Amino acid sequence: MKLTTAQLDRAAGVLVATAAGDALGAGYEFGPALPSTTPVTMKGGGPFGFAPAEWTDDTSMAIVIAHSILDGFDAGHAPSAGTTLASMVTGWQAWAAESKDVGAQTSSVLHRAARLMVDGLGDDAAAVAAARAHHEASGRSAGNGSLMRTAPVALALLDSDVALWDAAAQISGLTHYELDATEACQLWTAAIRHAVLTGRLDVRIGLLQLDSERAQLWLERIRTAEAWQPRDFTQNGWVVEAFQGAWSAIHHGVAAAGSVGPEALRLSLENAVRGGNDTDTVAAIAGGLIGAAAGYSAISSGWRRKLHGWGADGERELVALALELVAGGNRPGSWPRLSAVDYSGWRGIGTVVQHPDDAGVWIGGSAQLPFLGSAEAATRGLPAALGEVSAVVSLCRVGQEEAPAIAAENHATFWLIDNADSAENTHLEFVLRDAAKAVARFRAEGRTVYLHCVQAESRTPTVAALYGELLGGHAMESLERIRRTLPNAQPNGAFMKVLRGTA
């Protein structure tokens, strides 16, 4: 399935927003509900001692699903094929062996499955048998552990709602036997698929695939979620209340924001965390769906900057996994897996000047990236100050190794297309202003910053002018000063509307 630019943005938002919600909630896990005025940050800590901006078991288990599906695609298997399911089980076991936190039900099932494997039962069959045995022994198995990890299934099966429905059930059943868990995953995954394809939120979209009695039950649960607040679902370790808490957080977040976008995403994830108890899981679940509707471009760079955890190398790796899932396989020779993006045929890539409003900010093209933060800058006839650069803000596609001397957390990337049609850039004004805020954040830390796109003609001067506005004055005044040092600065019409305040 060929996706539009907006659909790709929404697909990338699924895993990154899952991880953002997860990391946001990690420091508040098992704590009480919080007042609406209490700030929520990626502070880390919590009962398991997570680092700031570190995701937890929720995202890590989803990453295992993503990798297993991708490996299955490359081997010619559908996401629900036995070999794919088996690799999920072994992947979770490898993760659990070194994880800070494994849910009680998941841990019990994985240990029981390991014993069955020793007895000769296949990996996925052992997990299914272990999940059923856990249910029969305890009388219940509807924890939230399969719902929290289900988002990648939607990305892999955007082209088939029937296959998605079956795969969501099979993957849930590897650890969670009870019907509530199965249906919660099916409904949530169907809603994520719908959001990626259409940009609309509809958690009821899958109800027609349930029998009438179960559909009515879930409809009542959804209506309750919309009538109550996340804090009202105090038993959110149960999959039904985790589902309700996540949907309540989104429903009220979108209502407060007035539309599906950056503000709705922020409010939804903060709402989920303020609900208390299993905060990381409810926020991760909410993140998968609101990220699918609002998109990657709705997630602030402040939240994305230091995201990390088991299974993936930061937010760029999550983006790569999402785009590969929707493409139907690993793409080692394509962006964003490329080590470098070749812009050698473009004019102006060697441009570099000092920002007229701040000597600690350099603006230019893409050719400087390999030399930033290294002594090699001066030996190539570049300004010696480029060797002192310790932060980069990229406004175009970049490879994974293009600025080797810059720490990943100090290299902020943004999705911007130099196109006067504002529809080509999701949440255009938010992204442009967020990029300017990233420059300001790095400068507040005392870093010398390099702000760039490919040619430094449209995207770069726009964000540079918005950064100038943050320093005082008006963006258009800053742009005039920038044009004196950057003669080719010509922001396109859509960008100019943002600069003039008429967007």
Q: How far apart are CA 194 and CA 206, in angstroms?
A: 10
- Let me know whether 10 and 145 are in one domain: yes
Weakest mean pLDDT among 229-233, 334-338, 444-448: 334-338
The pLDDT assigned to 58 comes to 97
- According to DSSP, the β-strands at 352-354 and 361-364 are antiparallel
Q: How far apart are CA 237 and CA 180, in angstroms?
A: 13
Final residue in a domain of this structure, among 271, 294, 327: 327
Weakest mean pLDDT among 371-380, 387-396, 464-473: 371-380
Residue 489 maps to a domain: yes
Residue 130 maps to a domain: yes
Residue 344 maps to a domain: no
Token pair belonging to 129: 């048998």
Facing residues of 392 across strands?
411, 450
- Let me know whether 282 and 400 are in one domain: no
Q: How far apart are CA 477 and CA 357, in angstroms?
A: 11
- Let me know whether 49 and 180 are in one domain: yes
Residue 345 maps to a domain: no
Exposed (0-12), middle (13-18) or buried (19+): which is 39, by Cβ within 10 Å?
exposed
Residue 73 maps to a domain: yes
Average pLDDT over residues 98-118: 85
SS3 401: coil
Residue 346 maps to a domain: no
- Let me know whether 228 and 278 are in one domain: yes
Weakest mean pLDDT among 129-138, 268-277, 381-390, 446-455: 129-138
81 or 61, greater pLDDT: 61
Q: How far apart are CA 233 and CA 235, in angstroms?
A: 6
Q: How far is CA 273 from the centre of its chain?
A: 17
Exposed (0-12), middle (13-18) or buried (19+): which is 265, by Cβ within 10 Å?
buried
- Let me know whether 313 and 356 are in one domain: no
Q: How far apart are CA 476 and CA 474, in angstroms?
A: 6
CATH code for the domain of 472: 3.90.190.10
The pLDDT assigned to 124 comes to 84
- pLDDT at residue 119 tops 80: no
Q: pLDDT-derived band of residue 164, with 50, 70 and 90 as boundaries?
A: very high
Chain-wide mean pLDDT for the chain? Answer: 94
pLDDT in tens, 50-79: 999 999 999 999 999 999 999 999 888 888
- Let me know whether 165 and 285 are in one domain: yes
- Let me know whether 278 and 423 are in one domain: no
Final residue in a domain of this structure, among 327, 361, 381: 327
H-run or E-run covering 451:
strand 448-452
- pLDDT at residue 113 tops 90: no
The pLDDT assigned to 462 comes to 98
The pLDDT assigned to 127 comes to 84
Q: How far apart are CA 40 and CA 273, in angstroms?
A: 8
- pLDDT at residue 423 tops 90: no
Q: pLDDT-derived band of residue 273, with 50, 70 and 90 as boundaries?
A: very high
Final residue in a domain of this structure, among 270, 292, 327: 327
Average pLDDT over residues 88-98: 93
The pLDDT assigned to 104 comes to 85
- Let me know whether 310 and 374 are in one domain: no
The pLDDT assigned to 121 comes to 73
pLDDT in tens, 197-240: 999 999 999 999 999 999 999 999 999 999 999 999 999 999 99
Radius of gyration of the chain from Cα atoms?
Answer: 23
Peptide bond into 47 cis (omega under 30): no
139 or 34, greater pLDDT: 34
Average pLDDT over residues 295-320: 96
Report the domain count for the chain.
2
- Let me know whether 199 and 122 are in one domain: yes
Q: What is the DSSP string of 148-204?
A: GG-HHHHHHTTT-HHHHHHHHHHHHTTT--SHHHHHHHHHHHHHHHHHHHHS---TT
- pLDDT at residue 388 tops 90: yes
CATH code for the domain of 127: 1.10.4080.10
Q: pLDDT-derived band of residue 29, with 50, 70 and 90 as boundaries?
A: very high
Closest CA relative to residue 325, chosen from 5, 6, 4, 14: 14
Q: pLDDT-derived band of residue 97, with 50, 70 and 90 as boundaries?
A: very high
- Let me know whether 150 and 20 are in one domain: yes
- Let me know whether 240 and 117 are in one domain: yes
The pLDDT assigned to 196 comes to 98
Exposed (0-12), middle (13-18) or buried (19+): which is 114, by Cβ within 10 Å?
middle
- Let me know whether 375 and 264 are in one domain: no
Per cent of the chain over pLDDT 70 is 99
The pLDDT assigned to 297 comes to 98
Q: How far is CA 140 from the centre of its chain?
A: 32
Q: What is the DSSP string of 204-266?
A: TTTGGGS-HHHHHHHHHHHHHHHHS-GGG-TTTTBHHHHHHHHHHHHHHHHHHHSSSSHHHHH
Q: How far apart are CA 263 and CA 274, in angstroms?
A: 16
Residue 341 maps to a domain: no
Residue 77 maps to a domain: yes
pLDDT in tens, 123-161: 888 888 888 888 888 877 789 999 999 999 999 999 999
| Boundaries of domain holding 18 | 5-327
pLDDT in tens, 240-266: 999 999 999 999 999 999 999 999 999
Per cent of the chain over pLDDT 90 is 82
